[in-house]
Structure 1
């Protein structure tokens, strides 16, 4: 394997809680992350976004577009009639049946992009989706249209969570979840490329979030069969009461953070001839 092969490690859910955000900043400062994906619909975003500005010089920063956690930024009477987003299973069902209220979703896409840009004072380097909703039929087209309208083609890249069946099989672990996301995201890569947007090539990081398992062993599988522009997602952070009130994934966030900060990560990368780097400059041609 070439010593020049670059992979990116992206921490999801920045802004979810204070503890999660601080943990991600620690990993950024340690040089163990090359991308951060930010939730902007919660109350933590403005302050934590400004803090992120002071730590992200060597990382891509993107919008973690969200339709399944917390509250929308605007009125969505059909999609979120009680003022909170529906669970992901409901969103998937509506998307596959063509029953999504697309006017409301288009407006929420614009609101979340606006809020990201207002705090970061620049456009996102990339866009992905919380629980991979950005790849669902209907949502993907609306997101791509919104990004085209903002002239982001050639400037921002998109996360493609649908890796090849061959690479998924070679990794072995968490194959069922990876194949399910691949099926739901079918056609996303083609649609993004057709509109002029680059995507990662190779994707891993799926987890069952079981605190009884060794995260380092799981991470080793994420590095198998890397694509040409391989992206590994992770969910590090510190557990606090704010997190516990919103999300069931808690203890494993601290386990992931501990691994990222440990010597095991650089040793694992060196053994496989991999180097951490930003995907943006590689796949969009923008300078770092």
Structure 2
């Protein structure tokens, strides 16, 4: 374990040295951002949060944990709201398998190359099969619970499985989450150091479209005011995209008390109208979040943090922050549709 820790720290130092050089921001245009809710299916409280946020146009994507709970009515509502649904590949959460265990044990076994690739591939295919059975289509994108999709053995098995299932063009192209840090904080760099650079390289080599920078990382200990400060930091650091117009008001701001950042045919009145045409080389920033509506019928290690996130994302203050930083909320499918 000490060798793994030493290797991680060396990787962090190396990557930080190139961080400022790589992150050149444009001076004009809006900020193209995917706001993605992780852990769809974990509980009805998480599912309800995804739907409510989508109805208000605050998010456009969510990643589903195969083996979780979701109703046919919730699936129809998410489809009506044009929410992109991806696979939240899971070996450390709720999906039952022979490899199910703690994040620590998975890091050790993957970096010591003790994972059986055929076993990993089988679990990947089982989760993809389960996803397709539930939603009736392939996932729009892939990410990993606790970012395990970028670990050694897992990342190679995942790319091979995706190519075997989808590379013939019979189904829509699949995007993938990469974890290049949006802000220069230790936890973000630790996540990226655990296979993030190698995963990005694999995606490029296999023509898998990805986000560019990745934000939303924090210790799940923030109150409402701290969340506001974190989001302002993430939006401040999100690069602008040339030739991308910010959202424009099309209806009076007082149409709805909370307002909405809706687009793509949302069911709520759109007070921000955004044209669908996007630059062909769009590579948006991804900000993950983990909201859940307040509910007493379930428990989770970060339940309180999830409920605070939901309060923040539904707030008027959050919408005003999106306006202030000229955010264009885009979806994963916008990346592939413009290639």
Q: Which TM-score band (shorter chain)?
A: 0.7 to 0.9
- Partner residue in 1 for 2:85: 61
Structure 1 unpaired stretches of 5+: 80-84, 170-174
Runs of 4+ that moved beyond 6 A: none
- Partner residue in 1 for 2:191: 181
2:231 is the counterpart of 1:219: yes
Structure 2 unpaired stretches of 5+: 1-26, 240-282
Number of aligned pairs? 264
Whichever of the two has the greater Rg, that structure is: 2
Q: How does 1:1-288 map to 2 (within 5 A)?
A: 1-42=27-68, 44-45=69-70, 47=71, 51-56=74-79, 57-72=81-96, 76=98, 79=99, 85-152=100-167, 155-163=173-181, 167-169=182-184, 175-184=185-194, 185-212=196-223, 214-227=226-239, 228-240=283-295, 243-244=298-299, 247-281=300-334, 283-285=335-337
1:242 positional shift: 5.4
Contact preservation (8 Å) 1:8, 1:276 = yes
Quote the Cα distance in structure 1 between the aligned partners of 2:94 and 2:295: 17
**3-state SS of paired residue (2:321):** helix
1:55 positional shift: 2.2
Quote the Cα distance in structure 1 between the aligned partners of 2:46 and 2:123: 24
1:9 positional shift: 0.3
Quote the Cα distance in structure 1 between the aligned partners of 2:294 and 2:109: 32
1:285 positional shift: 2.9
1:192 positional shift: 0.9
- Partner residue in 2 for 1:172: none
Q: TM-score, normalised by structure 1?
A: 0.85
1:270 positional shift: 1.5
**3-state SS of paired residue (1:55):** helix
